[in-house]
Structure 1
Amino acid sequence: MRHDDRTPDQLRPCSIEPGFIGKALGSALIATGGTRVICTASLEERAPAWLRNGGWVTAEYVMLPGATSPRGRRDPGGRGKEIQRLIGRSLRAAVDLTRLVGPEGEALSLVVDCDVIEADGGTRTASITGGWVALRLALDRLLAQGRLGADPMRAAVAAVSVGLLARHDGGDPLAVLDLDYPEDSTAVVDLNVVALPGQGSVSLVEVQGTGEGGSFSRAQLDTMLDLAEIGIARLHRAQEEALDAAG
């Protein structure tokens, strides 16, 4: 049994509040258990100079100093930069960048900011899941304003963690979904899975996995991916509910 009495395939309570930042083009506050992230999507004044075709989506990620105890640093550091690259790659996988252009064909560039205000594991996966909602709302607004020629969004994208936890009786490690900090910090294996939800199955975008306390078998990997697919389908429903609430 897990320390918070969740079953192995159970997500932490998850909520997504759309429009959390009124002045942002698109925004959402996502809460997964004790982790809370404010996601905002903004239109950049100009696209990257190297861009030759279509538009661009990128991301920035930071954990506010008070999000952890003891106090963290404002500088994202190497870990934060790696996470924001993951978020950017994940969001771009959901967008047809060739269609991210204005009515006259001008390139549009969007940045999704993910600010962690409270951390209890899974900040990068929550940022991707909530960041997609903020991005979807931003694109909806640009379409309504006539600033986009066509909708460039081709799919939703969501992310979740899975892992293997050691058993007290010394048996085979237990595969679990959506690790919180106590689980993440002691996991034998920890994976972050990003996918595009689909009909019947998901399309994987990225799988980041590490044997923190030991190796893992192909069968164990398959079990963890099956759990991730369950979780991502549920998170996609939460995304859809948030968009419905936004109207």
Structure 2
Amino acid sequence: MDCVLIGVVMGVMLLGLRWFVYLQGPWKRLPPGPRPLPIIGNIYQLGKNQTETLRQLAKTYGPLMSIRIASVYTVVASTPEMAMEILQRHGQVFSCRTVPHAMDVGGFSKFSIFFGPAGKEWRDKRKMCKEILFSERCLEESEALRQEMLQKLVDHVGGHCDRGDVVNIHDAVFMANLNLLLTTIFSITSPDTAMELMMIMEDFFSLFAPNITDYFPILKVLDPQGMKRKAELSLGKLLAKFRDFLNHRSNANLLCLQMYIGHS
């Protein structure tokens, strides 16, 4: 019990020290915004409809304003002109990404093109996607496959409409895109495999839900919502599945090479 009490006291002291540093720190250089409360910041003002809340706040503080969500400072651009100013004219300055705590498991964020730092390795990965995976030549070669998948999607939705059934457009479109990617990249056309992968990916995407440790970093060691533990399991399943896809493609390429050598 004494250890718990000491831990709580130390936590409060650290939060108080952080608030003191905030009062003396670089907050004066931030754009205008509503005054945050100690510890929780402006969370109490956001409510359920954050988009509408930010729109109303922008009427008071302008198209570029700052709010603080717990210990995380956030700058909000609420007009197309201001967003263009940030993304086009100062894109390099704002190119870093905030990495959720759950996505930092196993160093995943360092290798991901989505979360990785905008350095040479990240630019090389983008270049590879642009010039190989999504090049004009590759898109032209896969046009017939895209037309086939689109027709299957139309037939699937049409069949539900004819029977008067409810159509889950999200799942239907997601499955169509997933089948297209699996066929294009790994030459896999199994609907069961695509369904299994979709379930794993949905479990993985659920990790992007609000996590208290992203706003109170002092709680990362405790992981109170268990998000990092869930990420280890979910990411492990996802990487294992893609490892199977790569092995399948490698074995198929090796078999084609052996057949070519045998005939020649």
Please indicate the TM-score interval, normalised by the length of the shorter structure: under 0.3
The structure whose RCO (Cα within 8 Å, separation 6+) is larger is 1
TM-score relative to the length of structure 2? 0.21
